[in-house]
Amino acid sequence: MKRMFSYISKNKGFTLIELLIVVSIIGILSSLLLSNFISVRQRTRDGVRKNALGSIQTALEIYRSDNGSYPSLLANCPITGDKVKFMDEGCSTSTYMEIVPKDPLGGNHPDYSYTSSSDRTTYTLIACLENSKDADKDPSPTPSICPNDNTFTKKNP
């Protein structure tokens, strides 16, 4: 019986070039996935910020319904630790928001900004976004409280 293959390799390992190619492909794929993962986390935190402004806006509307105007500032009344309540101006009886949300990044990232007009008939809520390509980003933030000028604003309805 004659052999079909005359050459049989005795080395059963990978060559250096094959290993380098595989390692470089894995490196390229992991860098693409990592950048996408960071982007997803930024968009998630921005979604949390937008929802927080919506919750604060709801509390402000209930406050206006009870008091006839918006508060001059968010009266944050301490509960425990770093948690605060949004209550009426004197922190007396009416609670409008049990815990005022903070920015999900915390630290050096600015929390939400609230300003009201002098006659307390209008207000502006501002959050700093991380994703510069966000569809809801303000086209021209004025004044910008955010280091990267990516703001999301809610005003009284």
- Domain positions in the chain are 16-68+104-155
Instruction: Give pLDDT, residue 22.
Output: 93
Instruction: Give pLDDT, residue 49.
Output: 92
Instruction: Give pLDDT, residue 122.
Output: 92
Mean pLDDT of 71-99: 69
* pLDDT classification of 21: cutoffs 50, 70, 90: very high
37 phi and psi, to 5 degrees? -65, -40
* pLDDT classification of 103: cutoffs 50, 70, 90: confident
* pLDDT classification of 11: cutoffs 50, 70, 90: low
Tell whether the model's pLDDT for residue 5 goes beyond 70. no
**Contact 98/62 with Cβ under 8 angstroms?**
no
- Tracing tokens 């990232």 back to the chain, one arrives at 109
The most confident of 10-19, 53-62, 75-84, 130-139, by mean pLDDT: 53-62
Mean pLDDT of 19-26: 93
Tell whether the model's pLDDT for residue 100 goes beyond 90. no
- Tracing tokens 């976004």 back to the chain, one arrives at 129
Strands (DSSP E) along 3-105, which ranges?
76-78, 84-87, 95-97
How much of the chain, in percent, has pLDDT values that exceed 90? 15
